[in-house]
Amino acid sequence: MVLPSDIVLCEVGLRDGLQNEAKTLDTSDKLEVANKLISAGFKVIELGSFMSPKAVPQMADTDELFFRLQDITNVEFRALVANKKGIERAIKCGCRKVKLNVSASLGHNLANINMTPEQSVAGFQESYNLARQKDIEVSGSISMPFGSPWEGEISLKAVKSIVEAYLKVGVREISLSDASGMAVPNQVYKVCTQMQKSYPDVKWWLHFHNTRGMAMANILAAMQAGITHFDSSFGGLGGCPFVPGAAGNIASEDVVHMLDEMGIETGIDINKLMEIARSVQCLVGHDTDSYLLKAGRSKDLIR
């Protein structure tokens, strides 16, 4: 088995996780979590999103978080944006990195905004240009490239066409996001291999939800294909508003534990991370889908 020696994890719990919670956390609690994540070793953190506060009230204080963390320069903080309005907020609060998102599902796009995924991505040009003028880095995400509840399977050709739309806009960092939890490992291996071969200059991220318990197997398959950047969420928090029964992202502590045991470097302290995930469970007020928080580290069993 050929595997990378190092993996970079982006902690997305503060965005993907908390946006799905009924309870909106206080800014001070979020800041404390962010600072603990930094001290646990995370070098990439998705802090929030610049969406309409009416639509996503849990993320309304994203600006404040960026503002309060602006002196920290050795961590990449990113935020999800939908349009130029979001970029304008990013500029004001000192955010240096944004992520655009489009659904790979034609049916989903047509039903929501009456545009094809490619048209949506082309519409990001203005946002991209504004961000780059202000030296803000821009990445792009493609959600449901491995399957969607609208059309089932999404062809590789369809995903490539969206990737090309992003490249045309200027985006060179792309995340494949299995928000519907439909990806399977041999498909992940094939897609990741093909994508890297066709677009060797793109920096790829993979983002798996654990809706059907396949996220960890999918991470392993992606690593075998040479992918080294993954998103994960403390405690396994999260969901997807469009997908019935959607689970959260794969739990960060479960991923770090697996990689630790496999001798793959993440730079993240598992004990600190478990403590963070436990504190987040207290903050949101319920149990979450985390194996590690239930069972502990396998090393801790050795007496």
Residues in contact with Zn ion by CB under 5 A are 16, 179
Instruction: Tell me the C-alpha distance between 159 and 167, whole Å.
Output: 12
Closest CB to Zn ion among 16 and 253? 16
Maximum pairwise Cα distance, the chain: 60
- The torsion angles phi and psi of 178, rounded to 5 degrees, stand at -85, 70
From the CB of 138, what's the least distance to Zn ion, in Å? 19
Instruction: Tell me the C-alpha distance between 81 and 97, whole Å.
Output: 10
| Residue at shortest CB range from Zn ion | 16
Helix (H), strand (E) at residue 229: strand 229-232
Q: Which of 10, 95, 192, 240 is catalytic?
A: 240
For the four alpha carbons of 131, 115, 202 and 49, in that order, the dihedral sign comes to positive
From the CB of 120, what's the least distance to Zn ion, in Å? 18
From the CB of 130, what's the least distance to Zn ion, in Å? 25
Helix (H, G, I), strand (E, B) or coil at 184: coil
Helix (H, G, I), strand (E, B) or coil at 129: helix
Closest CB to Zn ion among 179 and 277? 179
From the CB of 238, what's the least distance to Zn ion, in Å? 6
Closest CB to Zn ion among 86 and 248? 248
Instruction: Tell me the C-alpha distance between 41 and 17, whole Å.
Output: 19
Q: What number of other Cβ atoms are within 10 A of residue 216's Cβ?
A: 17
Which residues are CB-contacts of 28 (< 8 A; sequence separation ≥ 6)?
none
First to last CA, the chain: 31
Residue 240 is among the residues annotated as catalytic for this protein? yes
From the CB of 65, what's the least distance to Zn ion, in Å? 19
Instruction: Tell me the C-alpha distance between 91 and 68, whole Å.
Output: 14
Closest CB to Zn ion among 68 and 102? 102
Closest CB to Zn ion among 68 and 141? 141
Active site residues: 240
